């Protein structure tokens, strides 16, 4: 999964960010996708030090799923995601089955809201 950005990120190097991913899961596969996420991917994310803010099936789209992760900076996001998606555990056990269930996905990275605002 490419982590390329197209925007002007000057001044964002030290700004906390949210990585928001929305997925369209293949019909009939969302329950299995959620099970794999909760039983395996979530633990792997946590072991990599990646903070999951929210995740789960959409409440209004039977094939939708969302994952929201928090990072201290764009640089940390890049490093941690590279480590996660490049790990032997992910590649050997989850990359192929998880990717096969995803029909499409979108990624949005935004500055994290400041606490108290």
Would you list the domain boundaries of the chain? Answer: 17-111
For 60-107, the pLDDT digits (tens) are 999 999 999 999 999 999 999 999 999 999 999 999 999 999 999 999
**CATH number of the 17-111 domain:** 3.30.70.100
CA distance 69 to 55: 9
Q: Which residue has the higher pLDDT, 74 or 10?
A: 74
Strand order in the sheet with 17-25: 51-57, 64-71, 17-25, 102-111
pLDDT of 6 strictly over 60: no
pLDDT of 15 strictly over 70: yes
């Amino acid at each position: 999964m490419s982590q390329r950005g197209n925007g002007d990120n000057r001044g964002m190097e030290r700004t906390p960010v949210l990585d928001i991913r929305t997925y369209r899961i293949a019909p009939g596969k969302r329950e299995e996708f959620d099970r794999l996420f909760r039983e395996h991917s979530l633990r792997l994310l946590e072991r990599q030090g990646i903070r999951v803010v929210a995740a789960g099936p959409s409440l209004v789209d039977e094939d939708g799923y969302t994952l929201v992760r928090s990072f201290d900076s764009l640089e940390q996001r890049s490093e941690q995601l590279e480590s996660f998606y490049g790990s032997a555990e992910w590649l050997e056990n989850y990359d192929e089955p998880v990717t096969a269930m995803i029909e499409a996905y979108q990624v949005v990275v935004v500055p994290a809201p400041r606490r108290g605002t």
